[in-house]
Amino acid sequence: MARVNTDDRIVMAMAELMRKQGYGATGMKQISEAANAPIGSIYHHFTNGKRDVAAEALRRSGAAYGELVITLLSAYDDVAQALTAAFDTAAGTIVETDWMNMCPVSTVAGEIADTEPHLRAVAAEVMTGWVEAGTTLLVSRGLGEDDARSLVEASIAALEGAFVLARTRRSAEPLHAAGRAMAAYARTMQVDRTRASTDQRPVR
């Protein structure tokens, strides 16, 4: 079994703690205990302590979360079907994990947006990465770049909002409903693009 490096243990512990309880409630002692690393070791790897650990945890967990979603969407050629599958998978996962928070990025972003400018910037960087990756994928599926970006932005917003409703109400329906809405939005874009292409064909 591969040995996990100390800095990896620290980052993974921080990501899990933030996922469960946010940034403010997470202390250095908790990080130390969860990572099985002395506090001095944390400062050795992360000079500014908790803030630096949180920034790296956001980057890594955000990248992993984004890659997972892109992999799921990539399995479908039809954008509407891909979005339906993504939201349905999220609904199934949140029920199976007993309403667990899926990713710390949005939770922490909302918590620290007005108090931790550096971490807000990191969260924004992560989310921008999600948008860019999603836009690239949807363009490859036939959408125009503006439509693709708009759909990705709306889908991320819908997904994160649906997670809050689902966890609060202990119901997967908000995720299913959001998926249906985003799929309908995608179909509208596809119809509009097809119609525009038809209108631009030369008349013989």
pLDDT at 1: 45
Where are the chain's structural domains?
59-196
For residue 152, give both structure tokens.
């990705």
- How far is Cα 26 from Cα 2, in angstroms, rounded to an integer? 28
Per run of 10 residues, the mean pLDDT along the chain (length 204 residues) is: 79 96 96 97 96 98 96 96 97 95 90 95 98 98 96 97 97 98 95 64 56
Q: From residue 184, how far is each of 76, 129, 177 by CA, in Å?
A: 16, 24, 11
pLDDT at 3: 58
Give the right CATH number for 59-196 from 2.20.25.90, 1.10.357.10, 3.10.690.10, 3.10.180.10: 1.10.357.10
Q: From residue 82, how far is each of 59, 61, 74 by CA, in Å?
A: 25, 22, 8
Q: Does the predicted model carry a pTM greater than 0.85?
A: yes
